[in-house]
Amino acid sequence: MKANSNNKEEIIQRRHVRKIIYPIIIGLGVVVYMLQREVDVDLFAVIAFTWHSAFYISIALLMMVIRDVGYMVRLKILSDGDFTWRQCFNVIMLWEFSSAITPSAIGGTGVAVFFVNREGLSIGRSTAVVMATSFLDELYFILMFPLLILVVTGTTLFAVGVEPGEEAMSFTNEFFYFAVIGYAIKFFFVLLVAYGLFVNPRGLKWLLLWIFRLPFIRKWRYKMHETGTDLIETSRVFRTKNASFWIRAFTATFFSWTARYWVVNFLLLAFFAVDGHILIFARQLVMWIMMLVSPTPGGSGFAEFVFTRYLGDFIPVGFAVVMALIWRLVSYYPYLFIGAVMLPRWLSGKFSRKKKA
C-alpha cells in the first residue's frame, strides 16, 4: 500500500514537471528558429570590435548585473530577509526566464508565485511578494514617463517618422499610439492594485467578481475569485509596513530599471559617437511601454522592430539591425540560456526535497 502511494506521488510530481518543461521546450525552439533567421554573420563584418568596444560592452553587461542585483535586493526586502541571497538569485533568474518565454503582456508573474513559494514562503506571502514587485515595476513607469516628457519634451520623444507639418504627439504617430495604450494599461493597473492593497481589498474583490459575471468572460470568474482572495492576503501582509520599507523597495526598483535602460547607451558608445543620452534613455522607457502590447514571447520580433525604428536616429544607416541584435544578445537571450540550465536542476532539487520530507 505504501509502495502504491509512493508511485502515485512520483506520477504527480512528473506531471507537475511536464507542465513546466513542455512550454520551455516550445519557447526555446521558437528562440532557436528566430536566431537562425536574425543572425547574419556578414553584418558583423561592418563593425570594428576594438578595446574601446570591449570596454563599453563590459559596462553594458555591468548594467545588467546591477539590474539583477537590484531585483535581488528588492526581493530580500519584500521577503523581510527570509530569503538568502542564493534564493533571491534563483527566483530572479527563473522569473526572468519565464518572462522571456511568455508574451510581454502576460510576463512571468504567474509562474513567479510558484518559484517564490518553492523557495520557502507560504502561498499567501508568495502572492504578496510577486504582486508587490509588479506594483513597484509599474509605478516606476507611471512616474518616469511624464517626468521624461517634461525633460526632453513630447515632440522630441515621438518625432520619429513624422511627416513635415504633422504633430509628433498625435494618434497618427504609431509610436505615440502604442505608448498611450501601454501607459493607460499600466496606469489603470497601478490604480487598481493600489486601491486593493492599501484601501479596500474586499471591495476590489467584489468589483472583480461583479465584472466577471458578464457572459463572455464568466468562465474566468473563479480565477478572479482566487485573485481577489490573494489580494486580501497581500493587503494584510503589506498594509502594516512603514514608509521606510516601501522607499527601500522602490529605490531598489529604481536602480534596477534605470540600469537596464543605460544598457543601450553603452552599447551605442561601444561603436559610435553618441549624443542625447537622456533622449535615448527616455525612448527606451517608451519602448518598454510599447512592448506591453506585444503578443510574442519576450517581445521577440516586435522589440527588434521598435528598436530599429525608434532608436534609428542615433545609429548610422545600415547598422540599426545589427545593434538591435547585439542589444537582445546582451539583455534578453542570456536569461533564456541561464534559465534553461537552472530550471531542470532547480525543479529536481525542489521535488526531491519534498519527496524526502
Q: What is the pLDDT of residue 171?
A: 55
Q: Is residue 38 a contact partner of residue 304, using CB atoms and an 8 Å limit?
A: yes
Cβ-based neighbour number of residue 322 at 10 Å: 18
Total number of residues shown for the chain: 357
Q: What is the pLDDT of residue 270?
A: 86
C-alpha cell at 275: 549624443
Can you give the pLDDT of all 357 residues of the chain as single tens digits?
444 434 434 443 444 445 445 545 554 555 455 456 555 556 556 566 788 888 999 999 999 999 999 999 999 999 888 899 999 999 999 888 887 777 655 556 667 888 888 888 877 788 788 888 988 998 998 999 888 888 887 667 776 655 544 555 555 666 777 778 888 888 888 888 888 778 888 887 787 777 777 776 677 677 777 777 777 777 777 888 888 999 999 999 999 999 998 998 898 888 887 777 888 888 888 877 777 666 555 556 666 677 777 777 777 766 777 777 788 788 887 887 888 788 878 877 766 555 554
Cα separations (Å) of 193 from 125, 131, 196, 199?
Answer: 16, 8, 5, 10
- In the three-class reduction of DSSP (H, G, I as helix; E, B as strand; rest coil), residue 48 is classed as coil
Cβ-based neighbour number of residue 159 at 10 Å: 18
Q: What is the pLDDT of residue 140?
A: 92
Strand ranges in 111-179 using DSSP code E only, listed in sequence order: none
Location of C-alpha cell 475569485: 225
Q: What is the pLDDT of residue 255?
A: 94
Task: Give 85's contacts (C-beta < 8 A, 6+ positions apart).
Answer: 72, 76
Helix axes 123-152, 109-118, angle to 10 degrees: 130
- In the three-class reduction of DSSP (H, G, I as helix; E, B as strand; rest coil), residue 297 is classed as strand
Beta-ladder partners of 297 = 103
Nearest CA to 70 among 98, 47, 92, 39? 92
Residue ranges of domains in the chain: 2-199+241-356
Residue 169 DSSP label: S
Compute the distance between CA of residue 308 and CA of residue 234 in angstroms, rounded to an integer: 40
Q: Is residue 56 a contact partner of residue 328, using CB atoms and an 8 Å limit?
A: no
Nearest CA to 234 among 195, 191, 201, 209? 201
Nearest CA to 346 among 100, 103, 97? 97
pTM over 0.85: no
Compute the distance between CA of residue 67 and CA of residue 263 in angstroms, rounded to an integer: 10
Q: Would you give the distance in Å from CA 25 to the centre of its chain?
A: 20
Compute the distance between CA of residue 294 and CA of residue 107 in angstroms, rounded to an integer: 11
Helix axes 221-238, 201-211, angle to 10 degrees: 170
Cβ-based neighbour number of residue 239 at 10 Å: 11
Q: What is the pLDDT of residue 7?
A: 45
Phi/psi class of residue 153: alpha, beta or left (left: φ > 0; alpha: ψ in -120 to 50)?
A: left
Nearest CA to 234 among 276, 205, 210? 205
